[in-house]
A and B are shown apart, each in its own frame.
Chain A
Amino acid sequence: MRITRFSAIFLDEAMTSPLLEIRALKRYFPVRSGLLHRITGLLRAVDGVSLEVNAGEVIGIVGESGCGKTTLGKTVQGIYRPTAGEIFLEGKPLSRLPAKDLRRLGLSLQYVHQDPLASFDPWWPMARSLDEPLRAHTDLPWSERMERVVRIVKAVGLDTEHLECFPHELSGGQLRRLTLARVLALNPRVLILDEPTASLDVSVQARILKLLSDLRSEFKLTYVFISHDLRIVRIMCDRVAVMYLGKVVEIGPTEAVLRDPRHPYTRALLAAIPRLSPGEPQDENLLEGEPPSPLFLPQGCRFSSRCPLFQEGLCNASEPALSPIGPGHEAACFRSAELSTSEETVARVGGFGLEKAEKREGSKMRIGESDAS
């Protein structure tokens, strides 16, 4: 798996344009208040994100809650209209396409909601919900559509009996599988998965992750994998982008970013991973407090208000842009050079629970095996 992953990246970079390209994407929400509902502020949920997603890869988007991951996903899919910026799919700009082409092309980009229970009509049996996209986009008669629904439901590891259930009669894992089945009916190329393992217990999480990698090879999918769990991102993703307050602060191959984080925020996220061994002390470099409100961003670097490396006159003067550090690895920090992997960091990263992840790396198959049982 490792080999195919990297070959996919290098081949695509060398040969073709990315499958999905996001350029300086912004999504602001107006904040209205007072009697006249006048716009009194702008919530900068996504504030200039550029991202290239290559065919076949899995790119992780990580960050705290409220950092704009979900808004990014929904804007890219088209649920929200972008405030500024462009989205290219297969090299074609989505915002400038005629409606008919947009409808067709837009369908190959699908978003899977975070909350599977709320994303099904509570009064519809599953068969009807899964049939909905087929009914909307094909002229097939009902019986043929049902055959396709049954095929897809089997592909996500469920049975026809689940099709007669109402959403509240199913478990979180089953619903998660059904959300995937519903979008797969449209033969998408890119799936934006919003916290696909949220609120599932660990064994179910493992099975869903296994399913996701199986589906990826079966349906030749590309994933944008939104998550806050770095351990899952490490297992699943080829590349990872770290978001803070609507911006990407660090991006690169998963290994490079997690082993050699060059943005203090990435380091803080790694430090926040809970450790399993009870003897190990929790890292004391945990971030304090909440991120600042995206309504009132700090001056200069948006991480400056919580940054342990904050330097007066540098960090609050201007906002750092993403600058290259290693192959494909970029970080937006003026002092990223000082964060380079010293002996000390290696030791600390080891302490961040990554050694355990390392072992898990070799045990990817074990997840698969446990699923079979």
Chain B
Amino acid sequence: MNGRVSALQSLPGVGLAKKLLNRRMLRLFFRDKLTGLGTVLVLVTFFLAVAAPVLSPFPEDAYENVRVAERLQSPSAKHWFGTDRMGRDIFSRVLYGGRVTLFIALAVTLLSIAIGVPLGLVAGYYSGAIHEVIMRVADVFLAIPRIILALSLAAALGPNVPNVIVALSVSFWPRFTRIVEAETQSLRHELYIEASQSLGVSPVSILFRHIFVHTLPTIIVRGTLGIGFTILLAATLGFIGVGVSPPTPEWGLMIAESREYLPGTWWYALFPGLAIFLTVMGYILMGDSLRDAMDPRLRGIEG
């Protein structure tokens, strides 16, 4: 990569990164305290999940373990968040639960992007049969409420992590197809797309090097918000009992287990619940401010 022109400038993605990370956008992004809070929450929960094996005082409690003597103890110096019905340390389980939940949410979002975005690009770029087929299929999925579709699929597939990911992805990809299709439709009539076409650039190249790059901000915003809602949905599936199966430390599942011991053992439901609340809020706050920072229609509005 050595030329007379700065090589860096011409590398794919550098222009984009420059655009996305220009100071103005960063200023817009961090213009209020809620944004900072969202970003901090996202980073902290991610760090806690990754570092769970190091941070948790009782890593062996994450899955199957029974300590009858210590069951249902209230929070103490030894067990910060108390213990559950098996005597397992809830703090450790909440940390490990973050790993499971974040893994599910990230996998679902990435899988949905991987399926939904290319379909949206193709549907938006071409008119006619391809467009109709893709969009009508997407419409069928969109017509069913996400929770009901995910619930019935998860129930049919059986309770384990890969199945939860499949169930949630199937109900999520059409949303990416929809928004990417709409953006592609408007972008494909831009003069610079027409110019590339008349220069004989291939459709694949136009779709990925021009159009996809321009839809990235939308995808990032939707993806971030989507992670939040997916965490909530995964917890809901766990709570209902069609999500992951019992020994797995999953927040929704933990709350479901706690129900029979309420209200006496308040810590049993409170800490997994707080974990869900803070993580989801983090992603949604961050997604909202990403949207404000990247949405061209909101540019120029200074807070």
Contact = CB atoms under 8 A, between A and B. Distances in A.
A147 interface: yes
Contacts of A160: 4-5
A231 B170 CA distance: 63
Given A118-B192, A119-B192, A125-B15, A107 B200 contact: yes
B146 interface: no
B199 A150 contact: no
B214 to A, nearest CB: 7
B4 A132 contact: no
A143 interface: yes
A118 to B, nearest CB: 4
B200 A128 contact: no
Contacts of B202: 136
A76 to B, nearest CB: 11
B127 interface: no
B195 interface: yes
A39 to B, nearest CB: 15
B9 A127 contact: yes
The size class of the interface chain A forms with chain B is 35 or more
Contacts of A107: 199-200
Interface in A102-131: 103, 106-107, 110-111, 113, 115, 118-125, 127-128, 131
A132 B199 contact: yes
A133 B10 contact: no
Interface string B4-47: 11100110100110010000000000000000000000000000
Residue in A106, A107, A121, A132 with the greatest tally of chain B CB atoms within 10 Å: A121
Interface string A156-177: 0000100110100000000000
Interface string B202-238: 1001000110011000000000000000000000000
Contacts of A77: 198
Contacts of B152: none
Contact of A142 (B1, B192, B201, B205): B1
A115 B191 contact: yes
A149 B6 CA distance: 13
B189 to A, nearest CB: 11
Given A79-B194, A123-B19, A150 B213 contact: no
B186 to A, nearest CB: 14
A106 B201 CA distance: 12
A137 B196 CA distance: 12
Contacts of B201: 132-133, 136
A164 B15 CA distance: 10
Contacts of A113: 191, 194-195
Nearest to B194: A79
B192 A125 contact: no
A137 B5 CA distance: 21
B197 interface: yes
Given A121-B192, A123-B213, A128-B10, A79 B199 contact: no
B76 interface: no
Given A123-B214, A125-B9, A136-B205, A147 B3 contact: yes
A123 B199 contact: no
B15 A128 contact: yes
B260 interface: no
Contacts of A183: 199
Contacts of A143: 1-3
Contacts of A150: 4-5
Contacts of B209: 132
B200 A136 contact: yes
Contact of B4 (A110, A118, A124, A146): A146
A49 interface: no
A78 B198 contact: yes
B302 interface: no
B234 to A, nearest CB: 35
B200 A123 contact: no
Contact of A121 (B5, B6, B10, B210): B210
A186 interface: yes
Interface in A75-118: 77-79, 103, 106-107, 110-111, 113, 115, 118
B216 to A, nearest CB: 10
B15 A182 contact: no
A143 B213 CA distance: 24
A125 B3 contact: no
B205 A123 contact: no
Contacts of A137: 200
B208 to A, nearest CB: 13
A146 B16 CA distance: 20
A119 to B, nearest CB: 4
Nearest to B193: A121
Contacts of B6: 164
Contacts of A121: 192, 196, 210
Nearest to A133: B199
B5 A164 contact: yes
A79 B198 contact: yes
Contacts of A131: 10
A178 B5 CA distance: 16
A119 B214 CA distance: 15
A143 B194 CA distance: 27
B210 to A, nearest CB: 6
B117 to A, nearest CB: 18
Nearest to B11: A128
A116 to B, nearest CB: 9
Nearest to B199: A133
Contacts of A132: 196, 199, 201, 209
A113 B192 CA distance: 9
Given A115-B191, A119-B195, A123-B15, 14 more contacts: A78-B198, A118-B190, A121-B210, A123-B214, A124-B15, A127-B10, A128-B9, A132-B199, A136-B199, A136-B200, A150-B5, A160-B5, A182-B195, A182-B199
Closest 9 CB pairs of A and B: A146-B3, A118-B191, A119-B195, A133-B199, A136-B201, A121-B192, A127-B10, A125-B9, A143-B3
12 contacts: A79-B194, A118-B192, A119-B191, A119-B195, A122-B192, A125-B9, A125-B10, A128-B15, A136-B199, A136-B202, A150-B5, A182-B199
